[in-house]
């Protein structure tokens, strides 16, 4: 997790302070969390953050993020307080540092879905409690953590896995790029020349060198031999005035049957949603047998619950991994 202003506090603003081992640990704990949810629905609830409260700030509309966090907090035994960012006046009615300090007096963590990335950095800098990035204009780490976990869960994650993002170099693409600096895989972004990702994140990921980051402008070139075809809406929140222009710019960057035919025969299709069928993806592909879109959407719940336990009950998180390692050693000794 990101290093925060106090040694005891952990934040999740992105992947920059994680290593490959810590990410795989999160994936394994997410598998455990998913199993525990099934047991909980059968009458054996797992509530490692019992009594904890989480303030959730939403400056942007949300379906998956809001439902998955609110439900996840409840299932883990905590309580969520939903705050509309406009109503509380982030950086207008009240300074970010005052909001961070106040919420720290009331709550155990903050989950924030904001516009400017600098605001969530300010929240984390001034809060005495963990802060989770639920989306900013720069990045969407919870989404990409869930996406990568989905591939891991299905046994599709490999060092040579080729993940092709077709569309805009937006916050979702940025987080894939950031992850490629930590985990070994081949990431290709196929985007128009004037819709590039954040240059700083690309430079940093390439310098770290764990994976490969490639940027091309021909989606068919990018898709050849892909293991994963991934897309997002062409017009993100706050860009509505650009819709007509973007429809024209991105019209050749659609995931459809023709593009999918260029990928590996076993390729899967992913989309962070919401989806605009007939624009960035066809209904045929989205509903087709190679789509795992609903699986990745569901996994937002399990991965975010894993992050919350790591942040709010690190002893429980460590206990799981100690037990997990001992079980693996015992299994190896038997064989």
Q: If DSSP codes are grouped into helix, strand and coil, which group holds residue 131?
A: strand
Q: Structure pTM? A: 0.94
Residue 5 banded pLDDT, cuts 50, 70, 90: very low
Distance CA 321, CA 295 (A): 25
H/E stretch holding 238: none
Confidence (pLDDT) at 6 = 43
Residues 6+ apart with CB under 8 A from 9: 127, 128, 129, 130
Residue 240: pLDDT over 80:
yes
Asked whether 180 and 187 are in contact (CB, 8 A), the reply is yes
Q: What percent of the chain has pLDDT over 90?
A: 85
Rounded mean pLDDT of 140-144? 98
Higher pLDDT, 41 or 286: 286
Q: Tokens 């780490």 label which residue?
A: 141
Per residue in 7-50, pLDDT tens?
A: 568 999 999 889 999 999 999 999 999 999 999 888 899 999 99
Which of 185, 182, 183 is CA-nearest to residue 159? 185
Cα-only R_g, the chain: 20
**Residue 85: which region, alpha, beta or left (left: phi > 0; alpha: psi -120 to 50)?**
alpha
Confidence (pLDDT) at 89 = 84
For 101, the token pair is: 């300090």
Distance CA 51, CA 49 (A): 6
Confidence (pLDDT) at 329 = 56
Q: Tokens 């989309």 label which residue?
A: 271
Residue 307: pLDDT over 80:
yes
Residue 236 banded pLDDT, cuts 50, 70, 90: confident
Which of 167, 155, 161, 173 is CA-nearest to residue 295? 155
Residue 333: pLDDT over 70:
no
For 245, the token pair is: 């222009």
Give φ, ψ of 214 to 5 degrees: -125, 140
Q: Residue 43 gets which letter from DSSP?
A: T
Distance (Å) of CA 38 to CA 34, 187, 327: 7, 33, 21
Q: What percent of the chain has pLDDT over 70?
A: 95
Q: If DSSP codes are grouped into helix, strand and coil, which group holds residue 158?
A: coil
Residue 2 banded pLDDT, cuts 50, 70, 90: very low
Higher pLDDT, 323 or 135: 135
Confidence (pLDDT) at 90 = 86
CATH topology of domain 155-291: Rossmann fold (3.40.50)
Rounded mean pLDDT of 60-72? 96
Per residue in 313-330, pLDDT tens?
A: 999 999 999 987 777 656
Rounded mean pLDDT of 251-280? 98
Highest mean pLDDT among 4-13, 39-48, 183-192, 240-249: 183-192
Beta bridge partners of 58: 84, 113
Q: Residue 94 gets which letter from DSSP?
A: B
Distance CA 323, CA 311 (A): 19
Q: What residues act catalytically?
A: 113, 140, 143, 232, 272, 300
Report the range of poorest mean pLDDT among 41-45, 48-52, 65-69, 288-292. 41-45
Report the range of poorest mean pLDDT among 19-28, 39-48, 75-84, 119-128. 39-48
Confidence (pLDDT) at 4 = 38
CATH topology of domain 2-139+299-312: Rossmann fold (3.40.50)
Mean pLDDT of the chain: 94
Confidence (pLDDT) at 335 = 62
Q: How many CB atoms lie within 10 A of CB 151?
A: 23
Residue 3: pLDDT over 70:
no
CB burial of 237-264 (b: ≥16 within 10 Å; e: otherwise) equals: beeeeeeeebeebbeebbbeeebbebbe
List every span in the chain annotated with CATH 3.40.50.1370. Answer: 2-139+299-312, 155-291
């Amino acid at each position: 997790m990101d290093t925060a202003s106090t040694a005891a506090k952990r934040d999740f603003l992105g992947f920059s302070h994680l290593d490959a081992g810590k990410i795989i640990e999160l994936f394994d704990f997410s598998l455990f969390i998913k199993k525990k949810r099934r047991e909980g629905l059968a009458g054996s609830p797992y509530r490692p953050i019992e009594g904890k409260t989480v303030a959730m700030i939403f400056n942007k509309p949300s379906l998956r993020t809001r439902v998955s966090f609110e439900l996840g907090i409840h299932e883990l035994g905590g309580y969520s307080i939903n705050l509309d960012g406009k109503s509380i006046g982030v950086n207008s009615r009240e300074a970010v540092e005052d909001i961070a300090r106040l919420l720290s007096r009331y709550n155990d963590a903050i989950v924030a879905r904001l516009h400017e990335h600098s605001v969530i950095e300010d929240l984390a800098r001034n809060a005495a409690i963990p802060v989770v990035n639920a989306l900013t204009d720069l990045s969407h780490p919870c989404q990409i953590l869930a996406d990568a976990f989905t591939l891991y869960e299905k046994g599709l994650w490999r060092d040579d896995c080729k993940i092709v993002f077709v569309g805009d170099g937006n916050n979702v693409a940025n987080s894939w790029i950031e992850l490629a600096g930590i985990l070994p895989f081949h990431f290709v972004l196929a985007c128009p020349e004037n819709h590039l990702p954040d240059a700083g994140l690309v430079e940093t990921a390439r310098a770290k060198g764990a994976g490969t980051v490639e940027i091309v402008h021909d989606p068919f070139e990018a898709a050849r031999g892909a293991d994963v075809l991934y897309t997002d809406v062409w017009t993100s929140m706050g860009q509505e005035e650009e819709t007509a222009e973007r429809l024209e710019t991105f019209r050749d960057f659609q995931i459809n049957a023709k593009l999918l035919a260029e990928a590996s025969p076993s390729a899967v299709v992913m989309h962070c949603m919401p989806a605009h069928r007939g624009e960035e993806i066809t209904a045929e592909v989205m509903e087709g047998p190679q789509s795992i879109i609903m699986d990745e959407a569901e996994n937002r719940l399990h991965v975010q619950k894993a992050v919350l336990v790591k942040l709010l009950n690190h002893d429980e998180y460590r206990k799981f991994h100690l037990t997990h390692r001992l079980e693996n050693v015992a299994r190896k000794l038997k064989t």
